[in-house]
Amino acid sequence: MNFQQRYGRWGLVAGASEELGAEYAKELASRGLNLILVARRDELLQSLAAQLSDQYGIKVKTIALDLSESDAAEQIVQQTMELEIGLLVYNAAFSAVGPFLERSMDDHLKEIHTNIHAPLKLVYLLGQRLIARGHGGIILMSSLSAFQGSAYISNYAATKAFNIVLAESMWEEWRPRGVDVLVCVSGAVKTPNYVASEPEQTGRFSDSTMEPDQVVREAMEALGRQPFVIPGRMNRFASFVMRHLLPRKVAIQFMGRVLRGMYVKS
Ligand SMILES: NC(=O)c1ccc[n+]([C@@H]2O[C@H](COP(=O)([O-])OP(=O)(O)OC[C@H]3O[C@@H](n4cnc5c(N)ncnc54)[C@H](OP(=O)(O)O)[C@@H]3O)[C@@H](O)[C@H]2O)c1
C-alpha cells in the first residue's frame, strides 16, 4: 500500500493552526491527503486551508473549537462522519509552566483535558473507524520531559507520559489489525508556545532546540516502522543517558536543575 492508500483519504490534525501542527498539515497535504484542520483560531486555520488547497489541490475542512472542552472529540466526530479519515495527528497541548502550587487547579485540569481527555477520546472514536477499515495511522505528540519526573512542568510531563504509554500500547494492540500508532517524543522545538513560555537560555541545551519541520519529517519517517521516535540526534543521546545510564533519582534531579534554570526566575 502506498501512503495515500494506507492513510487516506483524509488526515485530521488536532492543533493545526501554527508551526508544528501546520507543518504536519503541510506534510500530509504534500503526500496527497485531504485535511481536517482543528484549532481555536479560525482565521489561522482558514488561511492555512486556502494555502494548502491552492498548493496541493486537496480538499480542506476546518473545525474551530477548543479541545479542552469536554465534548470536543464528539463534536469533531459528528462533523466528520461522512469523511474517510485514515490518519489522526494529535498535536495540541496545554502546558502550565512554573512551581506546581503557583498554577491554578483550573490550569492543571485544562492540561488534563487538552493533553489526555481529548486525545484519549479521539483515539477511541476514530480508532474504531480505522480498525473497521483495516488500515490507518495515529500520531500522538509527547515530550522528553515525560520520561521522568520533571519539576516545574510536573503535570504537563505527567500528561505526556500518558500519551507515550497509550500510543505504545495501541501500537502493539492494533499493529496486527493494520493500524499504525506512533508517539513522537520531542525535545524543545522553536514554536510560539515554547518561546512564549520564556525559557532562559540554558547553554548547551538551547543548541538542541529543533525546527518544527525537522520534527515532523522524523515522525513521518517513523510512522509504520516503530512505536516511538525521538527526533534529533542530540535528543536521542540525551534521552539515552537520562534513561539508561543515570540512576532515576539523579535523572529527576538533573531535569529539575535544568527546568529550574529555564523557568524559575531568581
Ligand atoms: N514546543 C516544544 O518545545 C515542544 C517540546 C516537546 C513536545 N512538544 C509537543 O508538541 C506539540 C505542539 O507543540 P506546541 O504547542 O509548542 O506548538 P504548536 O504546534 O506550534 O501549537 C499548538 C497548536 O495546538 C493548538 N491548540 C492548543 N491548545 C488548543 C486547544 N485547547 N484547542 C484547540 N487547539 C489547541 C494551537 O492553536 P490555537 O491556539 O489556534 O488553538 C496550535 O495550533 C504539543 O503536543 C507539545 O506537547 C512541544
pLDDT tens track for 41-54: 999 999 999 999 99
Q: How many CB atoms lie within 10 A of CB 192?
A: 11
Whether the pTM exceeds 0.75: the reply is: yes
Residue owning grid cell 531568581: 266
Given ligand 1 and candidates 189, 194, 258, 263, which is best to mutate, with the most ligand atoms within 8 Å of its CB?
Answer: 189
Residue 61 banded pLDDT, cuts 50, 70, 90: very high
Predicted local confidence at residue 207, as pLDDT: 63
Q: How many CB atoms lie within 10 A of CB 71?
A: 12
Tell me what the mean pLDDT of segment 141-157 comes to.
98
Residue 202 banded pLDDT, cuts 50, 70, 90: low
67 has a pLDDT exceeding 80: yes
Residue 197 banded pLDDT, cuts 50, 70, 90: confident
Q: Which atom of ligand 1 has the smallest separation from the CA of 144?
A: 6
Length of the chain: 266
Residue 191 banded pLDDT, cuts 50, 70, 90: confident
Q: H helices within 57-153, ranges in order?
A: 72-79, 105-112, 118-133
Share of the chain above pLDDT 70, in %: 96
| Contact indicator for 18, 44 with CB cutoff of 8 Å | yes
Given ligand 1 and candidates 20, 69, 143, 258, which is best to mutate, with the most ligand atoms within 8 Å of its CB?
Answer: 20
Q: Which atom of ligand 1 has the smallest separation from the CA of 90?
A: 45
| Contact indicator for 90, 119 with CB cutoff of 8 Å | yes
